[in-house]
Amino acid sequence: MSAGNETKSLGLLALAGLKPYQPGADEEYMNDDQMEHFRLLLKAWRNQLREEVDRTVTHMKDEAANFPDPVDRAAQEEEFSLELRTRDRERKLIKKIEKTLKRIEDDDFGFCDQCGIEIGIRRLEARPTADLCIDCKTMAEIKEKQLQG
C-alpha cells in the first residue's frame, strides 16, 4: 500500500474515531463487529462529505460578488467552477457510500463482485467502497488501459 493510501485510510479511520480493525485469530470474515466497523466508517465519511457540500453552498452565497473588473469576475467564476466540479465528484461518492451502506445492510459487503473472494479488511479500510478484490481491480485497470490504446 502506498503512503498516500495509508494516510487516507488513517484519515478516514481517525475521522470516524476508529482504530484499524484487528481481527481475532479465529474470527469469521465480515462478522457483525467488522460490519459495524465499516458502517461507522462509511457514515462518518458520508457526513464529512455532506458538511463540505454545505460549506461550499454557504461560501458561494457569501462570496458571490458582481466584480466590475472582468479579470476579478473571471477568477471568481473559475474558483466557483472548480469548487462545483469537486462537489459533483463528492456527490457521486456520497451515492457510492450509500450504495455500500445498503450492501452492508443486505449482508453483501466485503466480497469481490467478480470472483467472490474476500476483499480484505485493510483494502476496505483504505477504500471502503471497494467492490473488487485487488487482483480483479488490477485486471480491470489493465483492460481499461488496453481499450484506451
Binding-site positions for Zn(2+): 112, 115, 133, 136
SS3 call for 118: strand
> 130 and 123 in contact (C-beta within 8 Å)?
yes
CA dist., res. 110 & res. 102, Å (int): 12
How many CA within 13 A on the CB side of residue 148? 6
CA dist., res. 128 & res. 143, Å (int): 23
Binding residues: 112, 115, 133, 136
Say which residue the cell 481475532 belongs to. Answer: 24
Say which residue the cell 455500500 belongs to. Answer: 100
Cβ neighbors of 8 (< 8 A, separation 6 or more) are: 126
